[in-house]
């Protein structure tokens, strides 16, 4: 490959028009976000001139939503929620880890200060994080995070190993991961303290199907889960 006087390969200069095109395209996309925002404001004001004045007065969401960061799975849109109705936390593969101060702080704030009545842990089929956890690969910084999912696989190894179809095994692990993250929410002091004194929030698990757009309720028996683990994870909050 020929090089220019500054030592760079000629292909680098040949790529410049393409890079410039991508840059311009990205800039146009970024600017369009502000146009979209103004359109959104206009639509909301059609609901009432005081829409944003009321929104600015504070939040009182009914739901804490814990979901995946996947760009295709947007909490408010898939559940038809309006601003102020859901408090949202998202991360790779909707994990609630006992070492993640971010997630635990969100749970504490949502339950103890906002008084949410429901906690929804929502996974989704075709989850890249769960798929990565199923593969024997070194993924660097992702390793300790994906270990949370591999722990779920270990806990349910017999059931998952009995599923011969890899696609079905993958889907089942996604569901089991949601179930275990629901249990992790139940383990927290904030949840136990609030539920045992006020009777809420209740924890739910569901999975979003990208192929159909529909939510699947995993019908997690919250009361039974709490009763089953409480003798081990009882924090003396009753």
Residues with a known catalytic role: 68, 70, 72, 124, 127
User: Alpha-carbon distance 67 to 230, whole Å?
Assistant: 25
User: Alpha-carbon distance 28 to 36, whole Å?
Assistant: 12
Token pair listed for 120: 């929804």
Angle at 15 between CA 12 and CA 18, to 5 degrees: 155
Burial of 120 (0-12, 13-18, 19+ CB in 10 A): buried
User: Alpha-carbon distance 34 to 153, whole Å?
Assistant: 43
């Amino acid at each position: 490959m020929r090089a220019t006087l500054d030592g760079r390969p000629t292909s680098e200069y040949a790529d410049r028009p393409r890079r410039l095109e991508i840059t311009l395209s990205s800039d146009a996309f970024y600017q369009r976000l502000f146009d979209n925002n103004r359109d959104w404001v206009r639509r909301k004001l059609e609901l009432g001139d005081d829409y944003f004045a009321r929104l600015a007065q504070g939040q009182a969401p009914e739901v804490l939503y814990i979901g995946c960061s996947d760009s295709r799975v947007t909490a408010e849109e898939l559940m038809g929620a309006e601003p102020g109705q859901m408090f949202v936390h998202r991360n790779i593969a909707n994990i609630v880890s006992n070492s993640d101060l971010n997630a635990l702080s969100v749970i504490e704030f949502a339950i103890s200060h906002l008084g949410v009545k429901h906690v929804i842990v929502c996974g989704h089929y075709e989850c890249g994080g769960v798929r990565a956890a199923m593969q024997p690969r070194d993924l660097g910084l992702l390793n300790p995070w994906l270990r949370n999912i591999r722990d779920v696989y270990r806990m349910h190894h017999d059931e998952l190993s009995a599923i011969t179809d890899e696609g079905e095994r993958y889907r089942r692990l996604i569901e089991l991961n949601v179930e275990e993250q629901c249990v992790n929410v139940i383990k927290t002091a904030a949840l136990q303290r609030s539920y045992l004194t006020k009777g809420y929030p209740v924890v739910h698990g569901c999975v979003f199907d990208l192929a159909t757009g529909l939510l699947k309720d995993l019908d997690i028996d919250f009361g039974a889960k709490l009763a089953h683990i409480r003798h081990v994870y009882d924090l003396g909050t009753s």
